[in-house]
Amino acid sequence: MHNEIFKEYESKLPMGIINDLKQRVPSNFSQAKLKKVLELACEEYELMKVDAGEAVGLLSAESIGEPGTQMTLNTFHFAGVAEMNVTTGLPRIIEILDCTKSLATPMMEIHLESPYNKGKEIKEFAESIKENRLKHIASEFTVNVAKAAVDVTLSQEKLTALKLTVPSVVKAIESMRGIVVKADGNIVTIKPKGKEEAINEVFKLKDKVKEIYISGVKGITQVLPIKKEEEFIIVTAGSNMKEVLQIEGVDAEKTITNDIIEIAQVLGVEAARQSVINEVKKVIDAQGLNVDLRHIMLVADTMTVTGNIKGLTRYGIVSEKASVLARASFETPLKHIIEASISGETDYLNSVVENVMLNQPVPVGTGLPGLVTKNNKKEEKAKYL
């Protein structure tokens, strides 16, 4: 019986509210009463809707911008031995909204499949993800002047910890061009190819050799296994989602990164949009501020409507604006005006900024509706002057 009445209102109310009411309304409720409740819900729902002509974008901008002025420049610290710094506060917000390509502190939270998520071999697992360069596994680099070569002493401890062998390391080193590698026990001798190299070339080589990639996931510079709500996860400094998701034992559904561009590339725009919302919310919550989620959603939506993620910069969404004057009023005005004049652009004065410039009523709020009347005079001459 109730269901029929509910069905009637499905077009008027969103499913979320209807389902909510379905659960809460007692089964012995009379039909008349239920109708009254639903009517009231409709009324309330209509009231909660944003009015036509409301400047939602500007309201969002003000609602995010005002608390933004209160944000302080503090960084959040992890407790533990290997401490990691994370950009939060205003710098992080700017990073997210501008869609910065290289983040100050890229980070991943790697969730694991059983049995690793119970803490089994978590340390070893974490270490295997961490990027290792030659400097990480070597205990000493010396320049052998007599041989005109670099002697690298590998640390046996680290080799066993990373399950590496001398030949595998040698192989990895050989990926670098223009060198000859020889191994003698734990000592690897690297010699520049070609004869009679100047000694300072060898010194240069010593620094180059340190950065040779050996093992692990590129870009992950630090790993930190931590327990988060009954589950072990690995927090990393540095991010490389594409590679990490392919590792066996990684829960690809839960693993996330704070690099939104990477998310857009690996998981697509919808994931990126959600990630923008989550990341901004994380910062705002951490600062103890209160911003309605829908403001952030609107920002995330404008950043992602085109199907690609775009920052709130002159290269990003501002460049998408239809109005020349609006673009010019943001940054680099001359550039926009000259480009517009070359292609003969027309500004239809449909948005706010242009109309403020011209001192015309802006098309929001009371400026939006027009009034149509009959004009008796054939041609009304200007009565000005």
Partner 1 sequence: MSEVYLNGKFVGSVENPVEFVDHIITERRKNSLANNINVRYDQENDEVYVESSKGRLRRPAIVVRDGKPLLTEKQVSQLEKKEITWDDLVNQGIVEYLDAAEEENALVAFKEEDLTPQHTHLEVTPLAILGLCTSLVPYANFSPTARINAGSKNQKQALGFYAANYHIRMDMDVNLLDYSQIPIVQSIMHPISDYDKHPSGQNLVVAIMSYKGYNMEDSIILNKASIERGLGRSIYYRPAIAEELRYSGGLVDEISVPDKEVKGYKSERDYRFLEEDGIISPEVFVQEGDVIIGKSSPPRFLSGMEEYNLTSNLRRESSINIKHGEQGIIDFVMLTENEEGNKLVQVRLRDARIPEVGDKFTSRHGQKGVVGLIVGHTNMPFSSTGIIPDLIFSSHSVPSRMTMSHLIELIAGKTGALSARYVDGTTFDAEPEEQLRKELLSMGFKENGTETMYNGISGEQFQAKIFIGNMYYLKLKHMVANKIHSRARGPIQLLTRQPTEGRAKEGGLRLGEMEKDTFVAHGASLLLKERFDSDRVIVPICEKSGLIGYVDARKGKAISPVLGEDSDMSYVEMSYAFKLLLDELKSIGVYPKIELENKF
Positions touching partner 1 (CB under 8 A) are 53-55, 58-59, 61-62, 334, 337-338, 341, 346, 352, 356-368, 370-372, 382, 384-385
Whichever of 31 and 350 has its CB closer to partner 1, that residue is 350
Measuring CA to CA, which residue among 57, 61, 68 is closest to residue 93?
68
Whole-number minimum distance, CB 45 to partner 1, in Å? 21
Whole-number minimum distance, CB 292 to partner 1, in Å? 14
Q: How far apart are CA 301 and CA 298, in angstroms?
A: 5
**CB of 31 closer than 8 Å to CB of 1:** yes
Whichever of 80 and 365 has its CB closer to partner 1, that residue is 365
Residue with tokens 């004057």: 325
Residue with tokens 């697992």: 125
Q: Residue 378: what are its φ and ψ, rounded to 5°? A: -65, -50
Whole-number minimum distance, CB 372 to partner 1, in Å? 6
Amino acid (one-letter) located at 28: N
Whole-number minimum distance, CB 41 to partner 1, in Å? 27
Whichever of 127 and 354 has its CB closer to partner 1, that residue is 354
Q: How far apart are CA 183 and CA 138, in angstroms?
A: 13
Whichever of 61 and 176 has its CB closer to partner 1, that residue is 61
Residues 6 or more apart whose Cβ sits within 8 Å of residue 39:
none
Residue with tokens 């979320």: 16
Whole-number minimum distance, CB 352 to partner 1, in Å? 6
Measuring CA to CA, which residue among 216, 37, 196 is closest to residue 133?
216
Bridge-based pairing state of the strands 107-111 and 256-257: antiparallel
Whole-number minimum distance, CB 97 to partner 1, in Å? 18
Whichever of 146 and 342 has its CB closer to partner 1, that residue is 342
Whichever of 1 and 358 has its CB closer to partner 1, that residue is 358
